């Protein structure tokens, strides 16, 4: 039987939502054995690469609202994967560092996610994956530009 959502599939935005929805489900399952959720994994990754980063910088990087980052950081801290240190020069801030356990967990989880990435893009050449990544990046920039200003589209 032919697809009943054929017209919708003419829209790239619909295809993105459908594909991403399934992909995030796979990612969630892949991270579950590590006790990580997508956001805790992403935070761990950025903190590993940038020791001493502040929560507000992390929030900006991951496009997460500051209040929503609180529980992510708290989760990682409770699991002993992360440490917070008050910054002496400005005691409003906390600098974030991963623990040894955090670094190990991150490396294992990242290795698993790279495999997931391979699995999900199986059937595409490396050039096609590169083209896909470029296209996604361009769309992300276009979309961010649309939401930033008072876009005409939302005014009928």
- The nearer residue to DNA, 67 or 150, going by C-beta atoms, is 67
Using DSSP's 3-state secondary structure scheme, residue 7 falls into coil
Asked if residues 68 and 75 have their Cβ atoms less than 8 Å apart, the reply is no
Nearest alpha-carbon partner for 98 in 88, 106, 86: 106
What, of DNA, a second copy, none, does residue 36 touch, CB below 5 to 8 Å by kind?
none
**Interaction of residue 61 with DNA, rule CB under 7 A:** no
Q: How far apart are alpha carbons 125 and 129 in whole angstroms? A: 6
Q: Work out whether 131 is an interface residue with a second copy (CB under 8 A).
A: yes
Containing 68, the helix (H) or strand (E) segment is helix 66-78
Crossing angle of helices 38-49/66-78, nearest 10°?
80
**What spatial distance separates the first Cα and last Cα of the chain, rounded to whole Å?**
37
Using the rule CB under 8 A, which residue among 54, 77, 84, 117 binds a second copy?
Answer: 117
**Which positions from 63 through 82 interact with a second copy, judged by CB under 8 A?**
63
Find which of a second copy, DNA, none residue 90 binds, CB within 5 to 8 Å per kind: DNA
Nearer to DNA, 87 or 104 (CB): 87
Q: Determine the Cα–Cα distance for residues 3 and 15; give it in Å rounded to an integer.
A: 13
Could you say which of 37, 54, 61, 75 contacts a second copy (CB under 8 A)?
Answer: 61
Please pick, from the candidates 78, 100, 126, 156, the single residue that binds a second copy as defined by CB under 8 A: 156
Binding segment for DNA (CB under 7 A), chosen from 8-16, 32-40, 43-51, 129-137, is: 32-40
The verdict on 105 binding DNA (CB under 7 A) reads no
């Amino acid at each position: 039987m032919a697809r009943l959502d054929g017209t919708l599939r003419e829209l790239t935005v619909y295809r993105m939502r459908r594909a991403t929805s399934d992909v995030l489900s796979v990612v969630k399952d892949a991270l579950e054995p590590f006790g990580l959720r997508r956001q805790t994994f992403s935070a761990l990754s950025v903190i590993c690469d940038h020791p001493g980063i502040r929560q507000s910088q992390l929030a900006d990087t991951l496009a997460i609202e500051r209040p929503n980052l609180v529980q992510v950081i708290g989760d990682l801290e409770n699991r002993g994967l992360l440490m917070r240190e008050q910054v002496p020069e400005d005691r409003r801030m906390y600098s974030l560092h991963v623990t040894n356990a955090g670094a190990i967990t991150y490396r294992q989880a990242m290795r698993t996610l790279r495999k997931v990435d391979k699995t999900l893009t199986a059937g595409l050449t490396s050039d096609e994956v590169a083209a896909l990544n470029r296209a996604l990046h361009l769309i992300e920039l276009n979309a961010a530009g649309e939401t930033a200003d008072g876009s005409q589209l939302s005014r009928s």
